[in-house]
Structures are given as structure tokens and as C-alpha cells.
Chains A and B, each alone.
Chain A
Amino acid sequence: MGKSLFEKIWERHVVKTIEGGPSVLYIDTHFIHEVTSPQAFNGLNKRGIKVFRPKQTVATADHNVPTLNQHLPIKEELSRKQVEALIKNCSEHGVELYGLGHPYQGIVHVIGPELGITQPGMTIVCGDSHTSTHGAFGAIAFGIGTSEVEMVLSTQCLLHSKPKLMRIIVEGELNKGVVSKDIVLYILSKISASGATGYAVEFAGSAIRSLSMEARMTICNMSIEMGGRCGLIAPDETTFNYIKGRKFAPQDFDKAVAEWKQLYSDADAVFDKEYHFDAADIQPMITYGTNPGMGIPVTGTIPTTETINETDKSGLNKSLAYMGLEQGAPIKGQKVDYVFIGSCTNSRIEDLRMVAAFVKGKQKASDVEVWIVPGSKQVEAQAKAEGIDKVFEEAGFVLRQPGCSACLGMNEDKIPAGKYCISTSNRNFEGRQGAGARTLLASPLTAAVAAITGKVGDVREWPL
């Protein structure tokens, strides 16, 4: 029997398996950040031990950092303390830190790939659920809790049972105006926010293979929103070309590529569950509710108790009451107050280019606030080098500095209660972007339309 991509990587990383229990899984690369690591370092200090393999750990500050005036001390005391704790812990334990002010600083899931640290065949973890992003390179990458951060810091290993395997195949050509965010919101709307719980999800098919690395990362990023343990895509020429020449790319690149080429699911690999979707059915998508599975085409209507799927039925009225939306109403034309383009889902250079190409020569709607938050210092520098910052400035947008920002509202970038925010991030949970904030998840293109018109619109009505 053939093996799946996931199994090939998993089996190479099992140190041993406990009778009737989980496997000891070796972790190649561990990313850490300021919010979920301090208690783990405390644990090590209490045991009197040091980080076991500090060279395999990379740190950055992203979750609670301000996105304006990053050169100044952080005003908010608790955030400042967390960042200071990270600096201290990294220096005491010999861990490389790309902190505030460093040219490599940025959202952890943006900097790993762009530095070439993320590579095919690896096991990668981080105390953050969107670690699944790195799976776009054909790696097993997943989020962990702080106790597990402590395990990896102290032993470079984790105890995990092998998940079930799922494959999601998307075949065909994408429609005009449809981008990878729409693909993943579409899949979510079909299989629900818990549809992949307990599974490692491989994304495959011609529509997936046609995507750039940035676009693939957007899809794997949101595999956690389906409940998936991780998401992964077999590496190919697109992957190899992306990694080539990056700072931490393998020295003997050709040898590495020869090994990476073995990383694919064999034709007779067996999956516990498989879904097939047709790319032609996918339209620009937007969410109306309070979990990422509650999505519809921008031209669609909000479901009613009669038309909604079973999974979201009981929560529909609660969601709509929170969102201030009505059953059966069209979503197109819905007023928007804020536009947030950022987060580890859509803050890479390709996302900013996409938005810039659309808004060039246009003006933002007067009653909308537009925040563009690049995923990293490198993305920011690249945007400036390409003149993208000027395009945004002329349109009336604010280009801020890198961090998680309004994706989770841990810094001061919060959406006020009751306001609508069209966001390129990944979660529309109650209060995610600030207490009472109402989030509509969409692609950078759909967000750009809202920035110009102040409303939810269909990007296909514009010349592209």
C-alpha cells in the first residue's frame, strides 16, 4: 500500500511509539512569540534546564506589538512586559530573536517562509494555531499549547497520536476575481468549521497546484478553521523556486530538491475521507456569521433557518443578532466601517500587490477607515521599494508596521463595538477584533472593493 505525503513525513520523525499511546515526534523547527512562550520558559527555569536545541528555535514579537511608531517603547505595560520577557528568555537560552526593530521581524507565519526556514519534509510547531500555514511547503506544521511549547523547548519532541487523513481536491480553473482566500472560504462553507477536526488535511488538484506559494499559504493557514490538525500541499517546482536563494535555504540546494521530490502522496495512498470540488463553482466569498464556516458568495443571501446546513442551524440567530444582520438578506451592499488588510492569512507582498493594482488611481470611501498591515519588515520594505506605499497613500489608506494587529486586537488596533470590519484575516469570532466588533472575512480583492466603495461589493463588476 502506498503512503500519503503526511505519512512519509510523520514516519521519518517518530523517535518511538508508546504502547497503547502516542508517538514521540521529533520537531525540526520551533517558532515562538511573546504571548504563548513566557510560561513555558518559566517551566524550564523551574526545572533548572536550558533549551535543548536553541538553534532549532526561532523567535519573533508579533501578537501584541503596536503597528505605529515601533521605534518607541511599547506604551501598554502588560504588552511591554511580555516583549521584555521574550528578549530576556531568548538571550538567557541562546535563542535567535527577530524582535522589534530587526529587519526580519514580522508575523511568525510570514517570516518563517520568507526567510527560507520553512522547508518541505519538516516538522514545524509554534504556540499558535495558524502554524498550519507552513504546511503549504509540504511540511507537517501545527499549533500547540504552552505546555507543549515547554516540551519542545526542553526536549525538541512532542507526544502526539497520528491523526486521521483527509484529502481535499480542487480541480479546474478559477473564475475571474476568485483568489485562494475564496477557495478556502468556499471549502469551509461546504465542510463547516469542524469538518476536518481530527484530520491532517492534504490539499490537492489542478486548482491548488496552479497557485503561487503565497496563495497556497492562505489555504493551509485556514485549515485550522476547519478544525484540521494541519494542512499540507505536496511541494513542486513552485515551492522549490520560492525557497531558492532565501536566507536559510539549504546550502546544497540541488541535493535538497532531490529529496523534496519524494514528498508526494503515492497514487494508491489511502485517505480516511476525501472531498472533491470544482473550481468553476467558486465565487468571491464573504462570511456573514461568527465562525469561518459561515460563508456565502458576495452575491448570495444570508441563509435562513430553513436553508442553512445542520452544523450552523442552532447558532444562526445568535450569530446574526451579534452581527446585526437578517436571515435571507443579500450581503452585497452591506455598509462597512473598517477595512483590515493584514494577518498571517493575507499580508504577504502578493496580497499587497493585488490590492495596490486594484486601488491604483482610486480613492477610499470617505466614511471608511482602511488599515494595511504588512506581515513583516521584509514585506514592508518590498512594498516601499515597489512604490506600493505611494499607491496606498494616494488612495487614503494607512500603511502600518508589521504585526498581528486587528486580527486579534491584542494591541491598540481594535475595531469599536458594533462597527463592521471587512477583514482579510481568518477568524470572525465574537469579539475577535475587539469587544462587540463585527467581522466579515473576505479576500484582499473583496476588501479592496469595500475600501473604495464603503460597502460589500463584487470585484467582478470592476475592470480587472
Chain B
Amino acid sequence: MAKAFTTISSRFVPLNIENVDTDQIIPARFLKATTRDGFGKNLFRDWRYENDDETKPKADFILNQPQYSGEILVAAKNFGCGSSREHAAWSIQDYGFNVVVSSFFADIFKNNALNNGVLPVTVSEPFLQNLFSLGNEATLTVNLEAQTITIDATGESESFEINAYKKTCMINGYDDIDYLLSIKEDIINYENSAP
């Protein structure tokens, strides 16, 4: 059961790098846990620290720049490509991001994010570039009900797509397993009738 999602207004962290793959989001050596907790501290681990040393943050990496903060991560196109590891979505959520904005998401990542209550918001390339040009004080409002993302200071807004079923799930905090378990009869009927 994920937490219910409605509207988020927040500052954002701009990660202006294309083709961010899930090996960067959470390197494979951190996949050895058997629970879902605590992945946030290793989010973007190898971009964040010199020689894997938590006492040596890389000053030029955006997560290490305290002037940038918020619940929204804004990333350049083709975010989340590569491995299917859901740990990528867990680490993003555990770090404190509830929305990821990009002009293009890899498929599996998008599903994994939605299954964990992290909203992937796909915007146009010009809108994305506009976001990257804003200063660190700027705030965005993401309204899931209305399917809009708005730059609060200027009122510039864009609408985004989301599958109607997934939207209902996110707004109500349902998950797919609850649904699938509720239609078990249908599944058994299918099995009995399948060729």
C-alpha cells in the first residue's frame, strides 16, 4: 500500500544529465539487501562521493549543493534506462523525492516508480529546458488530479499524461496486488479456459 498522492508544491533539484541509467541511480553493489529500506543514502552514490567515501562529497554534484532541495527531481531525457532494479525507485523515494520530471522515461523505471508512489511526470523538451533555466529558489506545483505541472512564479504550466488506472491507484494509495488478488476468480477461470 503506497501513500496517497494528490498535489505537491516544492522546490526542485535539477539533474541536467541525459541517459541517467539505473546503475548510476543505485550501483549494483548496493543491491544486496533483503528489505526495501535505507536505499536513499546510496542514491547516485558514485556521483556523490569521491572514492566511495562519505566524508568526501563531490562539490560539483547537485545533491551535494545545499541550495538545491525539495521533493521534486528534474532530470534530462531518457531517465532510468538500463537495469530493471526497483531499488532505483526505492532509493529515489527513500531520499525524499516524490516526483521525477523528465522529457523521456525508460519503460521499466516508469512502472517501478508508479508502483512505489513516485510520480514520473513527462514534460516537453522546451518546458524541461525552461525548468533548467530557473534559479534554485523556484518552486513547482504538481497536481495529479488535474494532471498539470506549473512553475509557481510565472504560472507557466503544462499538462502530463498518466494512465487513468494508475492515476486512481496513486490518488487512493491502492496497489496493483490488492487489485489482482481481488480478481482471483477471473484468473482461475482464465486458466481453466486457456488452450
Please tell me if B137 contacts chain A, counting CB pairs below 8 Å.
no
Find out whether the CB atom of A435 lies under 8 angstroms from the CB atom of B181: no
Residues of B within 8 A of A248 (CB): none
Nearest Cβ distance between residue A434 and chain B, in whole angstroms? 9
Find out whether the CB atom of B82 lies under 8 angstroms from the CB atom of A150: no
Residues of B within 8 A of A402 (CB): none
Task: Select B34's contact among A85, A144, A154, beta carbons within 8 Å.
Answer: A85
Please tell me if A432 contacts chain B, counting CB pairs below 8 Å.
yes
Q: Give the nearest-CB partner of A230 in chain B.
A: B107
One of A192-200, A274-282, A363-371 contacting the partner: A192-200
Please tell me if B10 contacts chain A, counting CB pairs below 8 Å.
no
Nearest Cβ distance between residue B116 and chain A, in whole angstroms? 7
Find out whether the CB atom of B32 lies under 8 angstroms from the CB atom of A430: no
Nearest Cβ distance between residue A109 and chain B, in whole angstroms? 13
8 A Cβ contacts from A119-171 to B: 127-129, 143-148, 150-151, 154-157, 159, 161, 163
Find out whether the CB atom of A410 lies under 8 angstroms from the CB atom of B176: no
Please tell me if A416 contacts chain B, counting CB pairs below 8 Å.
no
Size of chain A's interface in residues, with CB distance under 8 A? 63
8 A Cβ contacts from A405-445 to B: 408-410, 427, 429-432, 435
Q: What 0/1 readout, one digit per residue, does chain B (30-49) give for beta carbons within 8 Å of chain A?
A: 01111110000000001000
Find out whether the CB atom of B187 lies under 8 angstroms from the CB atom of A15: yes
Give the docked Cα–Cα distance between A24 and B183 (Å).
Answer: 10
Question: Do A429 and B35 form a contact, CB below 8 Å, given A159-B176, A435-B46?
Answer: no
Q: Give the nearest-CB partner of A28 in chain B.
A: B194
One of A33-41, A100-108, A205-213, A236-244 contacting the partner: A33-41
Nearest Cβ distance between residue A365 and chain B, in whole angstroms? 29
Question: Do A197 and B32 form a contact, CB below 8 Å, given A15-B187, A21-B165, A435-B46?
Answer: no
Question: Do A227 and B86 form a contact, CB below 8 Å, given A26-B190, A435-B52?
Answer: no
Please tell me if B112 contacts chain A, counting CB pairs below 8 Å.
yes
Find out whether the CB atom of A26 lies under 8 angstroms from the CB atom of B194: yes
Give the docked Cα–Cα distance between A331 and B191 (Å).
Answer: 54
Please tell me if A385 contacts chain B, counting CB pairs below 8 Å.
no
Give the docked Cα–Cα distance between A346 and B111 (Å).
Answer: 28
Interface of A is mostly: loop
Give the docked Cα–Cα distance between A18 and B186 (Å).
Answer: 13
Please tell me if B163 contacts chain A, counting CB pairs below 8 Å.
yes
Size of chain B's interface in residues, with CB distance under 8 A? 54
One of B21-29, B57-65, B141-149 contacting the partner: B21-29
Find out whether the CB atom of A148 lies under 8 angstroms from the CB atom of B36: no
Find out whether the CB atom of A148 lies under 8 angstroms from the CB atom of B111: yes
Find out whether the CB atom of B107 lies under 8 angstroms from the CB atom of A145: no
Find out whether the CB atom of B23 lies under 8 angstroms from the CB atom of A432: yes
Question: Do A147 and B115 form a contact, CB below 8 Å, given A26-B191, A78-B33, A159-B165?
Answer: yes
8 A Cβ contacts from A21-51 to B: 21-22, 24, 26, 35-36, 38-39, 42-43, 47, 49
Q: Give the nearest-CB partner of A125 in chain B.
A: B84
Give the docked Cα–Cα distance between A198 and B110 (Å).
Answer: 11
Nearest Cβ distance between residue B103 and chain A, in whole angstroms? 11
Find out whether the CB atom of B177 lies under 8 angstroms from the CB atom of A18: no
Q: Give the nearest-CB partner of B176 in chain A.
A: A159
Give the docked Cα–Cα distance between A193 and B82 (Å).
Answer: 9
Nearest Cβ distance between residue A216 and chain B, in whole angstroms? 21
Nearest Cβ distance between residue B193 and chain A, in whole angstroms? 10
Please tell me if B106 contacts chain A, counting CB pairs below 8 Å.
yes
Please tell me if A283 contacts chain B, counting CB pairs below 8 Å.
no
Find out whether the CB atom of A150 lies under 8 angstroms from the CB atom of B84: no
Residues of B within 8 A of A143 (CB): 84, 108
Find out whether the CB atom of A129 lies under 8 angstroms from the CB atom of B82: yes
Find out whether the CB atom of B85 lies under 8 angstroms from the CB atom of A430: no
Central interface residue in A64, A129, A259, by most chain B CB within 10 Å: A129
Q: Give the nearest-CB partner of B190 in chain A.
A: A15
Find out whether the CB atom of B107 lies under 8 angstroms from the CB atom of A314: no
Nearest Cβ distance between residue B165 and chain A, in whole angstroms? 3
Find out whether the CB atom of B86 lies under 8 angstroms from the CB atom of A146: yes
Nearest Cβ distance between residue A16 and chain B, in whole angstroms? 6
Q: What 0/1 readout, one digit per residue, does chain B (98-115) give for beta carbons within 8 Å of chain A?
A: 000000101110011001
Residues of B within 8 A of A21 (CB): 163-166
Find out whether the CB atom of B32 lies under 8 angstroms from the CB atom of A155: no
Q: Give the nearest-CB partner of A198 in chain B.
A: B107
Please tell me if A79 contacts chain B, counting CB pairs below 8 Å.
yes
List the 6 shortest-distance A-B pairs measured between CB atoms, nearest first. A21-B165, A145-B86, A78-B32, A38-B34, A145-B112, A143-B84
Kindly list 15 other residue pairs between chains A and B, CB separation below 8 angstroms, not including A194-B77, A197-B78, A197-B104: A12-B194, A18-B165, A22-B163, A24-B180, A63-B31, A81-B34, A127-B86, A145-B89, A145-B111, A147-B86, A194-B78, A318-B17, A430-B23, A432-B28, A435-B52
A-B contact pairs, 16 of them (CB 8 A): A21-B164, A39-B36, A47-B181, A78-B32, A129-B82, A145-B85, A147-B116, A147-B177, A155-B180, A155-B181, A159-B176, A193-B19, A194-B104, A197-B81, A410-B29, A435-B52
